[in-house]
Structure 1
Amino acid sequence: MRASIQGRFGDRLILVAVVALAICWLAPIFWVIGLSFKPNDVIMKTTGGLLSPPFTLKNYTDIIATSAVFGWMLNSAIVATGQTLLTLALSTLAGYGFARTDFPGKRLVFVAVLAGLAVPEQAIIVPLHTMFAEANLHNTYFGLIAPRLAVPFGVFLMTQYFRGIPAEIEEAAMLDNASRFKIFLRIVLPLSIPAQATLGIYTFLHAWNEYFWPLVSATKPEMYTLTIGLAATQTNFAQTEGIGFLMAQAVFAGLPVLILYLFFQRHIVTAVSGGFAK
C-alpha cells in the first residue's frame, strides 16, 4: 500500500514538473500572440496587461494590406518544401542502403557520414559561400536549398528505423521473385512513413527557421526568406513603433509549422516511440 501511494505521488510530482516546464515554454508564445492584438501606441507605454483591453486586428489587416510578409512566406515555403522533399529522398535511400545492403567499406562510410554531425556550420560557411558565388547561385532557390541537403541526422534516423523493420518481411517478398527496388518501394517505404514524417517535420522546421545561410546567400529583398525579411523590418526596440505589427508577423510565420506538426503528430509519436506503421 505504501509503495502504491509513493508511486502515485511520484507520478503526480512528475506531472506537475512537466506542466510547469510546459508553461515556461509556452509563456513567450502567449506573450507574442497577446502583443499582436494590442495597439502599437499602447505597447509603447507598457507591454503588461496582455489580457486587458484595448485589443485590435489592425496589425493583421496591415499585414494583408501592406506587408511583404507573403512574398517572404512564399520564398520560405518553396525553400522548406524543396529541401524537405529532397532530404527525405536522399536520406531514405541512403538509410536503406546502409541498413539492408553490404558493400566494401560500408562501416567506414557510415562513420564518415555520422562525423558530419560534429562539423559546425560556421566552419564551412566561407568555402560554401565561395563555391556558390563562383557558380552564380546566390539569390536563387537552388542556392538556398542545396547546402542543406546533406543531413547526417536524417541518414542515421532512417538507417536505424530500417534496421528495426523485420528482415523476414523482405525475405518473404524475395521468395516471390520481387526485386530489391520493388520491395523497397511497395513494402519498406510505406512502413517507414512514421520515420519519414519525423524527419520531414524536423527538416521543414529547420529550413523554415533557417537564418544563417539565407542571410549569406539571399542579398536581394525579393529573395528574402521569412526569417531574413522579419529581421530586416526590426530596428532598435526602444525606437520601434510597430511592435504589435512585428508580433503579428511572427504569429503568421509560425502558423504553417504548427499546422504541419498537428497534421503529422500521430506519425511523429509513433516514430519516437520506436514502432513502425503496420
Structure 2
Amino acid sequence: MNPNLSNRWGNRVIFGATVLAAIAWVAPLLWILALSFKPNELLAQRTDILLAPPYTLKNYSDILGTSLVFRWIANSCVVAFGQTVLVLLLSSLAGYGFARTEFPGKTWLYRLVLAGLAVPQTAVVIPLHRMFADWGLHNSYPGLILPGLAAPFGVFLMTQYFRAIPRDLEEAALLDNASRWTVFTRVILPLSLPAQATLGIVTFLSAWNDYLWPLISATQSDHYTLTLGLASTQTNFAQSEGLGFLMAQAVFAAVPVLVLYAFFQQYIVAAVAGAKVRQA
C-alpha cells in the first residue's frame, strides 16, 4: 500500500475520532443550555423537545430577580480572585525556594508538601470549622479564602516548572549584581507565565465552584457565594418542577468561568506544550 495513502487514511480516522469525541463532550452542554430556555411547565411533562418552541427567558429573569444574586456574584469574585492571587504568590515563592535554594530539611519538607495531595478536603472540615469558629472568621472573606491557600499542587507545579528553567539565565543575572529577589521577579517569574496561568485557572475554578466550605462557613445569606446562593433558591422539587430554572442556574454560574478560560487558553496550551517538550 502507498505510504502516503496509508497516512491519509490514518489522519482521517484520527480526525473523525476527534470530531466524535468533541460532539460527545459538547452535547451535554448544549442540552443544558437548551433546557434553560424552556418553560418549567413544559419540562415537567417532557424534555425531548429542545429546538422546538416555545422559548422563554423567565428562568434567567427569576435568577436576576433574586435580591441578593449580585451580592453573591461579588462574593464569589472576591473569594475566587483573592484565593487565586494569594495561591499564585505563595506557590511561586515556595516553588522557587524548593527549586533553587538549599536549606536544612528541604527534602523532607517537600515530601510533606506532596503528602498534602493525598489529604481530601472532607478530612479536615471539622478541624477547620472549629479553628475558624474560635478565630471568629466565619461569615467573612478571610474565612472563605484562607482554607484554599493550602495548595500543595500549586507548590509542586511551580517547583517542577522552575527546575526546568536553565540555571544559566539566573546565574547571568546574579553576575550582574542582581539580587535574588530581582532575579525572581524580573527573570524567573516572566518565564513561568504559562505555569502560573494554568495554576490560576485551576485555583479559580476550584474556588468559584466550591460548595462544601462556603456551606459550612457562610451561614448568613449576604455572605453566600454564587454556588451556595443559587442552591439556596432551589425547592425540594427543583429537578422535577423547576428543571429549566435549574439549568439556567448552571449556565449563569458557568459563564464567568468560560470567559476566563477563553482569555487564558493560550497560556494553558503553551504550558501543556512546554511540558510535552520537556518530557521529550
Alignment-derived partner of residue 81 in structure 1: 81
Partner letter of residue 104 of structure 1? P
Cα distance in 2 for residues equivalent to 1:263 and 1:239:
33
Q: How many Å apart are 1:16 and its aligned residue?
A: 2.7
Are the aligned partners of 1:36 and 1:248 in contact in 2 as well (CA < 8 Å)?
yes
In structure 1, the partner of 2:111 is 111
- Corresponding pairs, count: 276
Does residue 235 in structure 1 map to residue 235 in structure 2? yes
Equivalent residue number for residue 263 of structure 1: 263
Distance of 1:268 and 1:239 partners within structure 2? 35
Q: Determine helix, strand or coil for the equivalent of 1:177.
A: coil
- Indicate the residue corresponding to 1:163 in structure 2: 163
Amino acid of the residue matched to residue 227 of structure 1?
Answer: T
Change (3 A) 1:58 1:77: same
Which residue type is aligned with residue 176 of structure 2? D
Q: Which residue of 1 aligns with 2:48?
A: 48
Equivalent in the alignment of 1:127: 127
Equivalent residue letter for 1:29? L
| Aligned match of 2:180 | 180
Superposition deviation, residue 20 in structure 1: 2.3
Q: Structure 1, residues 53-94: CA drift from partner, whole Å, max 9, x if none?
A: 111222223333335332222111111011000000000011
CA distance in 2, matches of 1:185, 1:53: 56
Structure 1 CA distance for aligned equivalents of residues 57 and 10 of structure 2: 45
List alignment gaps of at least 5 residues for structure 1: none
* Aligned residue number for residue 141 of structure 1: 141
Shift of 1:196: 0.6
Cα distance change of structure 1 residues 68 and 267 upon mapping to structure 2, 3 Å threshold: same
Letter in 2 for 1:215: L
Letter in 2 for 1:11: N
1: distance between equivalents of 2:11 and 2:234?
45
226-235 or 161-170, larger mean C-alpha shift: 226-235
Matched residue, 1:66: 66
Amino acid corresponding to residue 130 of structure 1 in structure 2: R
With 71-80 and 109-118 compared, the bigger mean Cα shift is at 71-80
Where does residue 95 of structure 2 map in the other structure? 95
Counterpart of 2:234, as a letter, is Q
User: Residue 205 of structure 2 aligns with which residue?
Assistant: 205
Where structure 2 has 5 or more consecutive residues not aligned to the other structure, the ranges are none
Using the alignment, how far apart are the partners of 1:2 and 1:120 within structure 2? 54
TM, length-normalised to structure 1: 0.93
1:10 shift after superposition: 3.5
RMSD: 1.9
Deviations 1:123-162 (A, max 9, x none): 2111111111111111111111101101111001111111
Moved more, 26-35 or 257-266: 26-35
Q: What is the Cα deviation at residue 110 of structure 1?
A: 0.8
What is the CA deviation profile of residues 218-274 of structure 1, one whole-angstrom value per residue up to 9, with x for unaligned ones? 111111111112222223447754332232222111011100000011111111112
Helix, strand or coil: the match of 1:219? coil
What amino acid does structure 2 have at the position aligned with 1:133?
A: A
User: Following TM superposition, by how much is the alpha carbon of 1:217 offset from its aligned partner in structure 2, in angstroms?
Assistant: 1.0
Relative distance call for 1:14 and 1:226 in structure 2 (3 A) is same
TM-score (norm 2): 0.92
Structure 1 pair 18–237 and aligned structure 2 pair: CA distance change class (3 A)? farther
Return the alpha-carbon distance in structure 2 between the equivalents of residues 238 and 213 of structure 1. 23
Going from structure 1 to structure 2, the CA distance change for 1:21 and 1:69 (only over 3 Å counts) comes to farther
Contact 1:69 1:249 in 2 (8 A): no
Relative to structure 1, the CA distance from residue 238 to residue 146 in structure 2 (aligned partners, 3 Å threshold; closer, same or farther) is closer
